[in-house]
Amino acid sequence: MQPGQLVTDSKRASTVRDGDAHVAEVPAGHYPGRASGSGPAEVTKWQESVRCRSRAVLAGFVSDRCAEHVQGVPGARFVTDLLGEFVTGGKYVRSTFAYLGWLCGAADEDAALRAAASVELIHAFALLQDDVMDRSALRRGRPAVHVALADWHRAQGLAGDADRFGESAAVLLGDLCLVWAEQMLRGSGLSAAALAQGWPWWDTLRAELGVGQFADLVNDARLRPTVDQVLDVTRRKSGNYTVRRPLELGAALAGCGEPVLNALGTYGELVGEAFQMRDDVLGVFGRPAVTGKPAGGDLREHKATTVVVLARELATPGQRDRLDRLSGRESPADAEVEQWRCLIEATGAVAGAEQMIRNRVSAACAGLGGAGLPGFAAAALGELAQRLTDRAG
């Protein structure tokens, strides 16, 4: 399978999809290949180790690059601290999957871990610019970077519009993270031959993300897209770059053959979709103390997410009229957002989204059985699929 080829373009699609993107069910929590010493506790220990190692590598890399590129610029200390804290503060989902892809074909190696960690800089790029595009004031329970930059501008008494400065500066810092991501991968210590195998997947990951972000800008709930249209944006903007492409990148760097890449691609697309669906549910019903984002933020921003669009498709005519009126509000009040949330739940959209998540996770894990993956890798993929899609934030 080549980079960019979607599972839906393959005859394999018929085994995992059914009509409106529902997929065949297998027992919840099932996955093949659980080997001795690869249960949930062992996967948790391994996952935390990868996170700690990746965090240390990223912290050192960003500090070195700031010393090289940012030093001497006005606000250099502030920018260095801001970037260092932001880049190292995530869950390391993407780097974990990239490294797990590597382990599908090779042994533990520091150079491979550094290569996997570089994906977190692409994630930082995406988040920095996404928060500007969405006008999000919070990220991980703290002021978004563009808000912090605007506050710094005001505190310094600089001329010009502080908010405009903050947004512009955040976009530029995002671009810097994108440049550094490739620099980190190139300098990871992997051989030129290994990197040559990975570059096509790396390019696909970045290009897909950019196009997905563009598609997301015009994917407004008020335009009434279908669930299938929303899922297409989901794959491009979030699902593929969160799970599928990092997995494929790591496996390609390790020299895995087409059967493994095919299995990981199918798993990654399905789990990536389920991951974003969980985000969509949390974007409407999540608790700010857990998600770090405002309550009902996706509704206030008129985002066409799966649960929002599914609600309209499942609604009775009367419910649909009320949904349309609420979605037509340019700046809905808190009481209207709460009405909107209750109405979405009343349509059965939340239950429908939960079923779609379960179906995808089950099908993804079932599809790993014939790939000949190492026991621990198969077990970890099963555990991570469950954890990634069954979370509160």
DSSP H/E element including 19: none
Averaging pLDDT over each range in 29-33, 36-40, 360-364, 366-370, which range is the top one? 360-364
Q: Which pLDDT tens digit goes with each residue over 267-303? A: 999 999 999 999 999 999 988 877 777 778 889 988 8
Which of 153, 124, 119 lies closest to 139 in space, CA to CA? 124
Residue type, 229: Q
Whether the predicted pLDDT of 18 surpasses 50: no
Alpha carbons 379 and 393: distance in angstroms, whole number:
23
Q: How many CA atoms lie within 13 A of 328 on its CB side?
A: 6
Alpha carbons 219 and 183: distance in angstroms, whole number:
33
| pTM for the predicted model, two decimal places | 0.87
Contact 89, 54 (CB under 8 A): no
Alpha carbons 48 and 212: distance in angstroms, whole number:
30
Give the pLDDT confidence score for residue 319 in this predicted structure: 96
pLDDT band at 37 (very low <50, low <70, confident <90, very high): low
Domain residues of the chain, as ranges? 7-389
What rounded mean pLDDT belongs to the chain? 88
What architecture is the 7-389 domain classified under in CATH? Orthogonal Bundle (1.10)
Query: What's the token pair of residue 133?
Result: 């595009």
Whether the predicted pLDDT of 75 surpasses 60: yes
Alpha carbons 311 and 350: distance in angstroms, whole number:
8
Judge residue 289's burial from the number of C-beta atoms within 10 Å of its C-beta, 0-12 exposed, 13-18 middle, 19 or more buried: exposed
Query: What's the token pair of residue 201?
Result: 């997947």
Mean pLDDT of the region 126-144: 91
Non-local CB neighbours of 55 within 8 Å, separated by 6+ positions:
88, 92
Q: Which pLDDT tens digit goes with each residue over 208-217? A: 999 888 888 8
Alpha carbons 172 and 178: distance in angstroms, whole number:
10
Q: CA 301, 305, 309, 315 torsion: positive or negative?
A: negative
Q: How many CA atoms lie within 13 A of 243 on its CB side?
A: 26
What one-character DSSP code corresponds to residue 8? G
Judge residue 2's burial from the number of C-beta atoms within 10 Å of its C-beta, 0-12 exposed, 13-18 middle, 19 or more buried: exposed
Which of 212-226, 354-368, 375-389 is predicted least confidently? Answer: 212-226
What one-character DSSP code corresponds to residue 240? I
Pairing of strands 138-139, 142-143: antiparallel
Which of 148, 142, 176, 173 lies closest to 163 in space, CA to CA? 148
> 22 pairs with which residues across the strands?
18
For the chain, first and last CA: distance in Å? 33
Which of 281, 210, 202 lies closest to 246 in space, CA to CA? 202
Alpha carbons 354 and 247: distance in angstroms, whole number:
24
Judge residue 31's burial from the number of C-beta atoms within 10 Å of its C-beta, 0-12 exposed, 13-18 middle, 19 or more buried: buried
Alpha carbons 204 and 210: distance in angstroms, whole number:
10
Helix, strand, or coil here: 70? Answer: coil
Residue by residue, DSSP assigns 190-227 as --HHHHHHHHHHHHHHHHHHHHHHHHHHT-BGGG---H
Share above pLDDT 90 across residues of the chain, in percent, rounded to a whole number: 71
Number of neighbouring beta carbons within 10 Å of residue 257 = 10
Alpha carbons 256 and 103: distance in angstroms, whole number:
10
